[in-house]
Amino acid sequence: MSYEGYDQVLCENGHYHTYDCWEFWSSEGWVCPKCGAKAVWSNMVDVTNGSYEYDEWGDETRIDGFVELHILDECKCEHCGSTLERRYKIPTEEDMRKAKPWRYEDE
């Protein structure tokens, strides 16, 4: 059986990065590639069977466990407008419940 996926990771300063599922076996030692701060939040995204399911009307439901992150602030280049840095809010338990409702059904 195979597994495909990645980890969403936020450092204590709110920088977002991802690691392929085969890159690390444990979250120990994860550091931010942007600022070197330690990781304080991570989430496994399982794309083995795709990211979405579709009902008979073609409406999609996300099934991979991806957590939509909320931007706290961002710094853009004043000359070209490209994003230089972005910081995100660390998700709460309620944010996780919304992203992965099947984990919390029996509580």
pLDDT tens, residue by residue, 46-95: 888 877 788 888 888 777 888 889 999 999 999 999 998 999 999 888 87
Query: How would DSSP label each residue in the chain?
Result: ----EEEEEEETT--EEEEETTT-SSSTT-B-TTT-PBEEEEEEEE-TT-SEEE-TT--EEE-S---PPPEEEEEE-TTT--EEEEEEPPPPHHHHHHH-GGGSTT-
d(Cα 51, Cα 31) in Å, to the nearest integer?
Answer: 27
pLDDT > 90: what percent of the chain? Answer: 31
Domain that holds residue 31: 5-103
Its pTM stands at 0.77
What domain count does the chain have?
A: 1
Q: Are residues 77 and 85 in contact, defined by beta-carbon separation less than 8 angstroms?
A: no
What is the pLDDT at residue 43?
A: 87
Give me the count of residues in the chain: 107
Kindly report which listed range (12-16, 29-33, 48-52) carries the lowest average pLDDT score: 48-52
The span from the CA of 55 to the CA of 103, in Å, is 21
